[in-house]
Amino acid sequence: MFKALVQAYARFKGDELFLPTAHKWRVPTWVIELDENNRYFIKGPYGREDHAPLPAPDRQRSGKVAGGNLKPKLLFDDPRYTLGLNFGGDKNSEVDLMHTGYLNLISSAADSTKEPLLAKVAYLLQSSLVNELKRDFISKRKTELEARAKERSRRGRKGWEVIFSELWGESKGELITFSFKGAYLVRLPAVQRFWAEHLKDELVIARSQCSICGEENDIVRLIPGEVTIQGQNCQITSFNERAFDSFGKRQTPNASICFECATKAVDTLRYLLNPRSRHSYNVVGDKDATSSLGRITAIFWISQSIKVEPSELNMSDFNFDTLEDFLGRITASEPPPAIRATLETIKRSLKAPYKPTPLTAQTDFHLMLVAANNRRFVLRDHISQPVSLILEQVERWLQASEIVDYFGHQRVPSLITLTKALAYRPGSRKHNLNPTHARTLYRTAYTGTSPSYGVLAKALSNFKNPKLFELADSHDGKLSESRQTAQLMLWGLASVIKLWIAYRKGEKGMEQLEERRGSVPYLLGRLLAWLERIQWEASGRTLERTIAQTHFGIASYAPALAFGQLLKSATIAHLPKLKKSHDNKQAGFAVNAEKELGRIASSIGKLPKTLTLEEQAEFALGFYHQRADFRAKTRERKEAEAEVGHE
Ligand SMILES: [Zn+2]
């Protein structure tokens, strides 16, 4: 993984969103603007809405401030470091130390870069001018906070003085930076280079061979910098996939890595995680997951840029910007069936001799699944494959996962839907995710590996949850949100079961009801759906709970035990009752249903005692397909009736 990121550095470093080494996007609260005559103007306070983020020098800062532990940030730090101002909460002696450290850093940056603007800042902060600057800063802050406190006090019950003192204490985290006639000093290349070199001196422990570039180089003691995942700032302690097993708690020893490789990898990772670069998305975000361990972010990229016009390939019809975007996001979206034709065009065009960038065997697509756990970076998986192979796999995936939804429309669910379906708890909005399942599904989609038995077992156990059908079939208006979720999750689970069969057994089809499919478990599933429908009609469509809700689990596991009684009630009670009905539609239905029941039952023959896990998968699909088919037919009939009505 480390190597892949270092290699990707060359491709992305020129992008305007790519940060210089050891920098982070930050919005300054205050900008001290200088001019030729050593005059200054304090501009601010700014927030996200009124100031664009700047590349701010960044570093780890932890532990108690002491002579040996001073970690100022160059030209981008808070009032304690920048001006030596104590807003409370710190000892004066500590703030003095912070400010001294900051001044020393500016001086040494000015010396080493010979940058006259840095010398200007150093002069301002070390001459007598600084006292005036501090006074101005404090009074500007005071005026601004007073106004804010009075405003809040008018709306609340607290006195403005109380609010003011709270705000005053909070202001120690505000960031101050410098500009000269509108140009920010942190943007100067010499300043950025100095910062990287400065950090390097602190981090390097030895000279040895780097395991990534193979050069005799300066080896770092820890990986510099943090990355932001789902709003959490995470320290990278390890790039090992093993970190997953230890949940990132144990510090796994890294191989020797040089400063250059380490920073290239982190800088690239930050770029890819920046939402504006469109190289990542949340598979399961914090709004969906019960625990931080369940949150997963996917990052993707191609090792070299491939120029393919989206419009030429109809990709823009589906909102994909580039081939890279297409490969990364196709599994995360729910594309209409027409996407298959586009995929074919892409494959053909990449093979064509005139293509602008030749696809070589080395053009790899990369996908990483990452998470943040207790402010630590956790790598769940890293998949890398040649683009040509990925295209084949994605096509296979779309085929394998496509299935009718709850209402009988044939569609492809997204990997996000499938991941959530496996973690679904009916009635709860949060999902209890097992990251291994998400990982397995991504592996299947992008590498063609068959999904594990664990995934099937989980899908079936969720499918058997009576609460799932209860919610999906509910007519209660108050439950509409839960109902929609349950219907979506049911579709997702059916898709997982279907794709499991497709990959394990190499079977095609099964997108919708297959009336000719002779598999006994599949027929049994259909039989249960018919029995449920018959019972439902016979009850006058008023049942609280259907037999699917009460009997699905046992019927899919021990058919002989469950079906005897169910068949008896249908043939002795429900069907005769329906046939006697004065409603012609009901009587007609009963005749058809009896025929269908007989046909299915005779194809089944003797009822099996138990079904294996794989057979239960067939059972679930038979049941699901048959129900979706009922809904599709009802819809078609209603549409036809509506047409007639309009004529
Ligand atoms: Zn190296």
Ligand 1 geometric centre to CA of 224 (Å): 14
Ligand 1 geometric centre to CA of 303 (Å): 18
Write out pLDDT tens, residues 270-287.
999 999 999 999 998 877
Ligand 1 geometric centre to CA of 190 (Å): 23
Say if 282 falls within a structural domain.
no
Ligand 1 geometric centre to CA of 239 (Å): 14
Ligand 1 geometric centre to CA of 220 (Å): 10
Q: What is the pLDDT of residue 242?
A: 44
Ligand 1 geometric centre to CA of 222 (Å): 14
How does residue 487 score in pLDDT terms, banded at 50, 70 and 90?
very high
Ligand 1 geometric centre to CA of 256 (Å): 8
Cα–Cα distance, 21 to 279 (Å, whole number): 19
Say if 382 falls within a structural domain.
yes
Cα–Cα distance, 474 to 480 (Å, whole number): 8
Range from 40-44, 88-92, 383-387, 505-509 carrying the lowest mean pLDDT: 88-92
Ligand 1 geometric centre to CA of 302 (Å): 21
Instruction: Name the residue among 635, 321, 164 with its Cα closest to residue 643.
Output: 635
Q: What mean pLDDT comes out for the span 117-130?
A: 93
Ligand 1 geometric centre to CA of 180 (Å): 37
Residue 411 reports pLDDT greater than 80? yes
How does residue 252 score in pLDDT terms, banded at 50, 70 and 90?
very low
Q: Are residues 177 and 212 in the same domain?
A: no
Say if 192 falls within a structural domain.
no
Ligand 1 geometric centre to CA of 98 (Å): 33
Ligand 1 geometric centre to CA of 267 (Å): 14
Ligand 1 geometric centre to CA of 372 (Å): 26
Ligand 1 geometric centre to CA of 258 (Å): 4
Q: What mean pLDDT comes out for the span 176-197?
A: 95
Say if 294 falls within a structural domain.
yes
Q: What mean pLDDT comes out for the span 420-445?
A: 89
Instruction: Name the residue among 351, 334, 354 with its Cα closest to residue 387.
Output: 351
Residue 562 reports pLDDT greater than 60? yes
Cα–Cα distance, 322 to 392 (Å, whole number): 18
Q: How far is CA 560 from CA 529, 607, 622, in A?
A: 16, 5, 17
Identify the residue with better confidence: 368 or 252.
Answer: 368
Q: What is the pLDDT of residue 226?
A: 82
Max Cα-Cα span within the chain: 104
Say if 492 falls within a structural domain.
yes
Write out pLDDT tens, residues 283-317.
988 777 777 777 899 999 998 877 766 666 777 77
Ligand 1 geometric centre to CA of 579 (Å): 81
Ligand 1 geometric centre to CA of 200 (Å): 13
Q: Are residues 30 and 14 in the same domain?
A: no
How does residue 237 score in pLDDT terms, banded at 50, 70 and 90?
low
Ligand 1 geometric centre to CA of 253 (Å): 17
Q: What is the pLDDT of residue 595?
A: 95
Q: Which of 187, 213, 240 is the last residue of a domain?
A: 187
Q: Which two tokens stand for residue 327?
A: 């490969």
Ligand 1 geometric centre to CA of 203 (Å): 14
Residue 512 reports pLDDT greater than 80? yes
Ligand 1 geometric centre to CA of 499 (Å): 42
Ligand 1 geometric centre to CA of 216 (Å): 8
Q: Which of 512, 540, 571 is the last residue of a domain?
A: 512
Say if 194 falls within a structural domain.
no
Say if 139 falls within a structural domain.
yes
Q: Are residues 134 and 85 in the same domain?
A: yes
Ligand 1 geometric centre to CA of 207 (Å): 11
Q: List helix spans (H) across 248-354.
A: 259-273, 323-329, 339-351
Q: Which of 481, 512, 543 is the last residue of a domain?
A: 512
Residue 75 reports pLDDT greater than 90? yes
Cα–Cα distance, 62 to 70 (Å, whole number): 10
Ligand 1 geometric centre to CA of 232 (Å): 28
How does residue 74 score in pLDDT terms, banded at 50, 70 and 90?
very high
Q: What is the pLDDT of residue 481?
A: 83
Instruction: Name the residue among 201, 213, 236, 42 with its Cα closest to residue 133.
Output: 42
Q: Are residues 359 and 229 in the same domain?
A: no
Ligand 1 geometric centre to CA of 195 (Å): 19
Ligand 1 geometric centre to CA of 184 (Å): 31
Write out pLDDT tens, residues 463-477.
999 899 999 998 887
Q: Are residues 37 and 183 in the same domain?
A: yes
Say if 285 falls within a structural domain.
no
Instruction: Name the residue among 580, 486, 599, 601 with its Cα closest to residue 537.
Output: 580
Dihedral of CA atoms 109, 114, 115, 116 in degrees, nearest 10, equals 120
Ligand 1 geometric centre to CA of 9 (Å): 13
- For 74: left if phi > 0, alpha if psi spans -120 to 50, otherwise beta; the answer is beta
Identify the residue with better confidence: 478 or 229.
Answer: 229
Cα–Cα distance, 31 to 43 (Å, whole number): 5
Instruction: Name the residue among 527, 457, 446, 520 with its Cα closest to residue 493.
Output: 457
How does residue 257 score in pLDDT terms, banded at 50, 70 and 90?
confident
Cα–Cα distance, 532 to 595 (Å, whole number): 16
Q: What is the pLDDT of residue 251?
A: 41
Q: Are residues 135 and 181 in the same domain?
A: yes
Q: List helix spans (H) across 58-188.
A: 79-83, 92-113, 116-126, 129-155, 160-170
Structural domain total, the chain: 4
Ligand 1 geometric centre to CA of 215 (Å): 6
Ligand 1 geometric centre to CA of 235 (Å): 20
Q: Are residues 6 and 35 in the same domain?
A: no
Residue 248 reports pLDDT greater than 70? no
Ligand 1 geometric centre to CA of 6 (Å): 9
Q: Are residues 93 and 110 in the same domain?
A: yes
Amino acid at 359: L
Range from 112-126, 231-245, 559-573 carrying the lowest mean pLDDT: 231-245
Q: Are residues 347 and 416 in the same domain?
A: yes
Q: Which residues contact 473 (CB under 8 A, 6 or more apart)?
A: 546, 549
Residue 94 reports pLDDT greater than 70? yes
Q: What mean pLDDT comes out for the span 366-387?
A: 90
The overall average pLDDT reported for the chain is 88
Say whether 361 sits in a helix, a strand or coil: coil
Cα–Cα distance, 534 to 528 (Å, whole number): 10
How does residue 354 score in pLDDT terms, banded at 50, 70 and 90?
low
Amino acid at 103: L
Ligand 1 geometric centre to CA of 296 (Å): 29
Instruction: Name the residue among 175, 266, 192 with its Cα closest to residue 229.
Output: 266
Q: Which two tokens stand for residue 165?
A: 């003192």
Q: Are residues 502 and 539 in the same domain?
A: no
Q: Residue 473 belongs to what domain range?
A: 290-512
How does residue 232 score in pLDDT terms, banded at 50, 70 and 90?
confident
Ligand 1 geometric centre to CA of 364 (Å): 21
Q: Are residues 42 and 56 in the same domain?
A: yes
Amino acid at 399: Q
Ligand 1 geometric centre to CA of 208 (Å): 10
Write out pLDDT tens, residues 577-633.
998 888 888 899 999 999 999 999 999 999 999 999 999 999 999 999 999 999 999
Ligand 1 geometric centre to CA of 510 (Å): 50
Identify the residue with better confidence: 2 or 118.
Answer: 118
Q: What is the pLDDT of residue 361?
A: 52
Q: What is the pLDDT of residue 10?
A: 92
The DSSP-derived string for 587-646 is: HHHHHHHHHHHHHHHHHH-SPPS---HHHHHHHHHHHHHHHHHHHHHHHHHHHHHHHHHH
Q: What is the pLDDT of residue 598?
A: 93
Residue 319 reports pLDDT greater than 50? yes
How does residue 222 score in pLDDT terms, banded at 50, 70 and 90?
confident
Cα–Cα distance, 93 to 400 (Å, whole number): 66
Ligand 1 geometric centre to CA of 209 (Å): 8
Ligand 1 geometric centre to CA of 262 (Å): 7
Range from 100-104, 212-216, 222-226, 564-568 carrying the lowest mean pLDDT: 222-226
Ligand 1 geometric centre to CA of 268 (Å): 15
Q: Are residues 204 and 143 in the same domain?
A: no
Q: Over the Cα atoms of the chain, what is R_g?
A: 32
Ligand 1 geometric centre to CA of 323 (Å): 30
Residue where the block lists tokens 């090992």:
240
Q: List helix spans (H) across 156-214.
A: 160-170, 189-203
Q: Which two tokens stand for residue 392?
A: 């084949």
Ligand 1 geometric centre to CA of 257 (Å): 6
